[in-house]
A and B are shown apart, each in its own frame.
Chain A
Amino acid sequence: MEEYTVATIQVNLISGRSIQQGVAIEGGKEKPAYRTAAGIIELDPSDLKKLGAWKSTNVRVTSDYGNVVVKAIETTQGPHPGLAFIPMGPWANTIINPNTYSTGMPTFKGTPVKVDVAINEPVLLGIELVQKSCGVK
């Protein structure tokens, strides 16, 4: 197995739509397919390298507002070094900046986050994640 050093990287997080996320929410948010589509973080190859993570390893993404485990994948809409993308949904919304600047609109795009490899931690299902965060069974 090839040597690699695990590091923490700092990136600027944005969230937004992807067609896979769109299909998954219509397919059912209780299904694993939703997690596969939106429980991910798209990173630039250079950032993946810095992180020292293989494609499709689980990572913990942490911001001032919370942290969440998602699967790190190589971006299909890059290059965008220093920028990370989590499709809109509960995973992104666990860590984005809720500040509305009194406009009603949270800051879904542009949250500084740090990413750590978390190979052994599970990515929760969408509904499961929200219920857990809210202390609801």
Chain B
Amino acid sequence: METVTITMKNPPALYLEADNVSPDAFAGKTAAQIAELHVYEGNTTGTLGKYFDVNGNAGATAAETKIVVKGDVKKVKYLGFKMSAGEVVVEGSTDLYAGAWMTGGKMTVKGNAEAFAATAMKGGELVIEGNAGNYLGAAYRGDWRGMKGGKILVKGNAGSDLGMYMLGGEIVVNGNVDVHVMTHAEGGRTVIKGNVNSKVGGQLVEGTIIIFGTLDVMMPGYKYVDDVELEIDGAKATFAHFIGDTGERHKKKKGQVIYGNLYKKI
């Protein structure tokens, strides 16, 4: 695994779109070639080298390439955009679309990531050690095909509209979550270790939501079934089991209606 380190030297006056900062775009390039890759500030096109110091050559393939992003990239969008393999480590906080449309590899943001991180994620792993913004692991506007696979871990809190139109994969949030979780989902699983506000699992067709903390208002479309014992990441606990959204349509398998499941720790 070859490591390319890019360090912010000239922060943009506005915001920077760095969709070329991904193992796929770097693969097979020398530091000099990488510095020539395009980045965009508003309607102007510049080079990565104009804003960043670039050190180290990339590996032959994305899988053999690791990117370390240093310096203040709070105003940089699209880091890890569409990455399919390899690794991206952002040492600070970053802006919109971190790891958006990623299909593989691993991305770590040591600070916070703003909205639309892991949009329409298909595979790989995204770890946000700080807080995540809104629409984490959600579908792009109008698309009914949201997160299909992969794993997202948020060590801090997450915003609203987490996992909208989720179809598969897993999202784990160690902290608290704002309104709207897995709206319209037809699969996948979300684990919330902290508290969550209202509007959870609205219009959910299929999928699983597990809540360790409080939930201020339960959607009327959720019906209590029973208490169950669950083991999540090695921790055993008793949960109240709800099914829903009973206002939504649901598939049938062998005459059995398949509901979404919501588990709330007692």
Contact = CB atoms under 8 A, between A and B. Distances in A.
Whether A and B touch directly in their complex, counting CB atoms under 8 A apart, is answered as yes
Interface string A77-118: 000000000000000000000000110000000000000000
Q: Number of contact residues on A: which range applies?
A: under 10
Nearest to B115: A102
B201 interface: no
Contacts of B135: 102
Contacts of A102: 115-116, 133-135, 159-161
A101 B115 CA distance: 9
Nearest to B180: A101
Contacts of A101: 134, 159-161, 178-179
A81 B61 CA distance: 65
Interface string B112-128: 00011000000000000
Majority secondary structure of chain B interface residues (helix, strand, loop or mixed): loop
A65 B75 CA distance: 24
A102 B160 CA distance: 9
Interface string B95-135: 00000000000000000000110000000000000000111
B139 to A, nearest CB: 13
A101 B161 CA distance: 8
A101 B135 CA distance: 9
A97 to B, nearest CB: 13
A101 B159 CA distance: 8
A35 to B, nearest CB: 35
A101 B199 CA distance: 14
Interface in B136-183: 159-161, 178-179
A63 to B, nearest CB: 19
A101 B138 CA distance: 13
Contacts of B115: 102
A102 B132 CA distance: 12
Nearest to A100: B134
Interface string A31-53: 00000000000000000000000
A102 B141 CA distance: 12
Nearest to A101: B160
A52 to B, nearest CB: 32
A39 B172 CA distance: 46
Interface string B227-260: 0000000000000000000000000000000000
Nearest to B178: A101
Interface in A20-39: none
A102 B138 CA distance: 12
A102 B159 CA distance: 10
A101 B134 CA distance: 7
Nearest to B134: A102
B185 to A, nearest CB: 18
B43 to A, nearest CB: 21
A123 B134 CA distance: 37
B114 to A, nearest CB: 9
A128 B23 CA distance: 53
A116 B161 CA distance: 36
B98 to A, nearest CB: 14
B4 to A, nearest CB: 31
9 contacts: A101-B160, A101-B178, A101-B179, A102-B116, A102-B133, A102-B134, A102-B135, A102-B159, A102-B161
Given A101-B159, A102-B160, 12 more contacts: A101-B134, A101-B160, A101-B161, A101-B178, A101-B179, A102-B115, A102-B116, A102-B133, A102-B134, A102-B135, A102-B159, A102-B161
